[in-house]
Structure 1
Amino acid sequence: MAAPDKQLPLRLLAGGLLGTGIVAVILLLFHPFVYVTEPGNATVMFNVFSGIEKGRVERSGATFVLPGIDGPTTYIVRTRVFQFTNDERSPNRAGNAISINTADGQAFFTDVFVALKPNAAVLDQLHATIGPRYMENIIVPTVRSKVRDVAASFSSADFYKKERRAEMEKKMTALISSEMPTGQLQQQKVPLIVIEDVYLGTAQFPEGLKASLEQKQVASITAQTAAVKAQIQQKETTRRLILAAANRKAIELQGQAAAKNAKLADLLFYEKLQDRIEAARSQGGEMPIRVIRVEGSDKSTVFLNVDPQRAAAAGSP
């Protein structure tokens, strides 16, 4: 009979330790005890015994987890713009362009852009009630429905007008936000998904409708331009009438003053004459006056040839 192997217990112990080490390495490699959440993300935890851990939302950084017990699920919680467009190359494409019917009975497609993010404060509630597929289950059908509802109260021409487009976008944002599911935070209702803005892209009008709208826009711009020109002409006419009335009144006042004082007529004559002299000097021409003769014992009367066609005299006293 062979003697018992005294090294067997040691070999069994060594084998057990080796197996344990291999299991530990596998756990560390495939189920690490540390889970890292990237910036701009947040993580919720699912426990195999208690389910989703309520109130536990891990922000960016390292988190301790139990391999095989804790199951982390990470969401992007920074604002992203999702696009409803027919361009399949567009980033964050949520679906095709949205077909709408306007108040004037026109039907066409338009691109729509929605800026949104999951509410990180109640991310555990979003995960419990809706899950990671919130875009397909909530956002896409709600956006399509509410965009159509708002567009139905506007005309097709409003899609060419900046102010009306802004009004539509504001109404769409408010209506879509009101349809978002809510959760509880500090005994108050808060949206699980935050809709920040809705933007309308390029409307894809049929060629006939596009040409008609462009013609209306041109006609509207032409009419506005004509109205502005008419206002300018009216103001210019008013200005000229006011100026003519002022000149007429000035002449009347000068006539009344001249009738009372003969010397004022001489003064007015000399003022006009001075203007003619300055004009001749500036143009380098001859003086428009010439002294003909001087009479009187005190040399007080001067005769001037003011106009070559006729002589005029200015007398004093």
Structure 2
Amino acid sequence: MTTPRQAPNVTLPRMSLSPSGRRVWPLLLGALLLVWVISQGVKVIPAGFVGVVFSSFSGVKPVVLQEGIHFVVPFVDKVNLYDARLQEVTLAHDAPNANDSEGAIRARSKEGLDITADVTVQFRIDRARAAVLHKELGRNYLQTVIRPQVRSKVRDAIGQFSAADIISTQRQAVEASITKALRDVFSRNNLVLDSVLLRELRIPESIAKAIEQKQAAEQQVAVERNRLQQSSISAQRAVVEAQGAAKAAIEQAKGEAQALSLRGRALRENPQLIQLTVAEKLAPTIQTVMLPSGGNFLLDLKSLGSVGATGTTTPAKTTP
């Protein structure tokens, strides 16, 4: 049986600090502690965020920290970051993990028909009032305000319109009504509404077909009404043209009558014009020349022609 060998004793050299070294180490440790404490009071607010300071002594401070470096009281002030960039919430049937709080909005139209709406709401927090938002709502404002209010206002807006109007001509009016109602709610809760987007509105297929047939019938009626109006306009145009033609004929007759009246008056006042007129009418067949009224005789051109041929002269007949 062998006895265990004992390990040799090793003597370590003793380190002794000089009096100056004993003073340096506490100072170094104090400096490191001070740097660490100061670093706890330096807060950096990232781009697009704001900081809300909560003091253990005074509660939420009203001053909101904007982007950049800020100094707070270490271990007393706590900075809560809020995303101030544009955000959106979508309530749709095809949303990821859609459930009762995330899925599409089911509403009823003015006549009581079921309508399903997919909606996207874009918003941001009010940077200047982020402290009030933190104090009154906290970070859970999506669940406490936005989603329930969006559902409520969409149902209210859809209930003001008929299904036919919603899916045809009044879609923008529905969006405007929802936007106005939500803007008031968001403003009261220190949020800023950017836009409301109605992604899709769905109604039962049977109702959609009935509405389409009704709209087609209304369009046909409008076409027929337009044709009737065109026919009425054509008839009115014909009446107006006939009245115009009648008035023109009347005016022409009046003009002719007035011309005859003036001509008769002129003949009465100038009897010589009668002889001139008769001569003009008979000139092609009767060769008679009317001499001036002072001569008081007519000249028979035929007799003059015969005299010229025989060489004798026939006295002209004088009128008394």
Structure 1 and Structure 2 fold alike (TM over 0.5):
yes
Worse-matched range after superposition: 232-241 or 64-73: 64-73
1:99 aligned to 2:110?
no
Residue by residue over 1:120-139, the C-alpha shift from the partner in whole angstroms, topping out at 9 and shown as x without a partner, is 33211110111112011111
Question: Displacement, 1:78?
Answer: 4.7
Aligned positions, number: 251
**Unpaired runs of 5+ in structure 1?**
183-190, 263-293, 298-317
Asked if the contact 1:37–1:43 (Cα under 8 Å) also holds between the matched residues in 2, the reply is no
1:238 aligned to 2:249?
no
Residue by residue over 1:88-113, the C-alpha shift from the partner in whole angstroms, topping out at 9 and shown as x without a partner, is 37xxxx83221112232211311123
Give the equivalent residue in structure 2 for 1:71: 78
Give the equivalent residue in structure 2 for 1:169: 175
2:50 alignment partner AA: A
1:51 alignment partner AA: G
Q: Report 1:4-15 matches (<5 A).
A: 5-7=16-18, 10=21, 13-14=24-25
Q: Report 1:12-161 matches (<5 A).
A: 13-14=24-25, 17=28, 21=32, 24=35, 28=39, 31=40, 33-39=42-48, 41-53=49-61, 55-88=62-95, 95-161=102-168
Asked if the contact 1:37–1:58 (Cα under 8 Å) also holds between the matched residues in 2, the reply is no
Residue by residue over 1:47-101, the C-alpha shift from the partner in whole angstroms, topping out at 9 and shown as x without a partner, is 2443321x11123343223454432223233554433223337xxxx83221112
RMSD of aligned residue pairs (Cα, Å): 3.7
Q: Report 1:264-275 matches (<5 A).
A: none
Q: 1:207 aligns with which of 199, 205, 208?
A: 205
Asked if the contact 2:64–2:128 (Cα under 8 Å) also holds between the matched residues in 1, the reply is yes
Q: Secondary structure at the match of 1:71?
A: strand
Asked if the contact 2:116–2:203 (Cα under 8 Å) also holds between the matched residues in 1, the reply is yes
Question: Displacement, 1:214?
Answer: 2.0
Q: Secondary structure at the match of 2:160?
A: coil
User: CA, structure 1 residues 15+295, in 2 after alignment: closer, same or farther (shift >3 Å)?
Assistant: farther
1:229 aligned to 2:222?
no
Work out the CA distance in 2 between the residues paired with 1:86 and 1:161: 22
User: CA, structure 1 residues 224+73, in 2 after alignment: closer, same or farther (shift >3 Å)?
Assistant: farther
Asked if the contact 2:45–2:51 (Cα under 8 Å) also holds between the matched residues in 1, the reply is no
User: CA, structure 1 residues 4+246, in 2 after alignment: closer, same or farther (shift >3 Å)?
Assistant: closer
User: CA, structure 1 residues 8+220, in 2 after alignment: closer, same or farther (shift >3 Å)?
Assistant: farther
Residue by residue over 1:221-267, the C-alpha shift from the partner in whole angstroms, topping out at 9 and shown as x without a partner, is 332333233323322321222122101211222233234436xxxxx
Work out the CA distance in 2 between the residues paired with 1:103 and 1:3: 95
Q: Secondary structure at the match of 1:42?
A: strand
Asked if the contact 2:118–2:199 (Cα under 8 Å) also holds between the matched residues in 1, the reply is yes
Q: Give identity over the alignment, percent.
A: 25
User: CA, structure 1 residues 4+178, in 2 after alignment: closer, same or farther (shift >3 Å)?
Assistant: closer
**Unpaired runs of 5+ in structure 2?**
1-12, 261-282, 288-320
Work out the CA distance in 1 between the residues paired with 2:284 and 2:83: 109
2:199 alignment partner AA: G
Q: Report 1:284-303 matches (<5 A).
A: 295=284
Work out the CA distance in 1 between the residues paired with 2:140 and 2:207: 38
Work out the CA distance in 2 between the residues paired with 1:82 and 1:196: 12
Q: Secondary structure at the match of 2:139?
A: coil
